[in-house]
Structure 1
Amino acid sequence: MDTTTASTRFGKFESRFFHLVFEEEFRRVKGHFGPINSVAFRPDGKRYSSGSEDGYVHNLLLRPTA
C-alpha cells in the first residue's frame, strides 16, 4: 500500500509518493503551480489524478521504476 503527500517547499507544488513499509520516496511528480487539493487513484493503481488551486487536473500514468 502506498500513500502520497503534497510538498510546497521553495514554491514547488509536487506529488510525492512513499512506500509505507520501507518509508522511502519512490516517485515525485511535478507540474502544478498551486497547492494540490485532491489526489485520486484508479483501482488498478497504474494512474492517478491530482487537482490544485491553479485550476488544472493532471491525469498521469505511473510507470514502474527500474
Structure 2
Amino acid sequence: MEDDDLKALARQLELLIQRLEQIKAHNRFLLANEKAWREERAHLIEKNEIARHKVESMISRLKALEQDS
C-alpha cells in the first residue's frame, strides 16, 4: 500500500510541476504583453503631445493673424 501511495504522490508532484511550468510560461507571456502595451502607450502619449503642440502652434498663429488684421 505504501508503494501505491508513493506512486500517487509522485504523480501528483509531476502534475504540480507541469502546472507550475504552464503558469510560468503564461506569466512570461503576460509580462511580454504588458511590456508591449506599455511601449504602445508611451508611443501614443508621445504622438498625442506632438499633436497637441502642433494644434497650440496653429492656434497661436491664427490669433497672431487675427490681431494683424
Q: TM-score, normalised by structure 2?
A: 0.12
Higher relative contact order (CA 8 A, sep 6+): 1
Q: TM-score, normalised by structure 1?
A: 0.13
- Which one has the largest radius of gyration? 2
More helix by percentage: 2
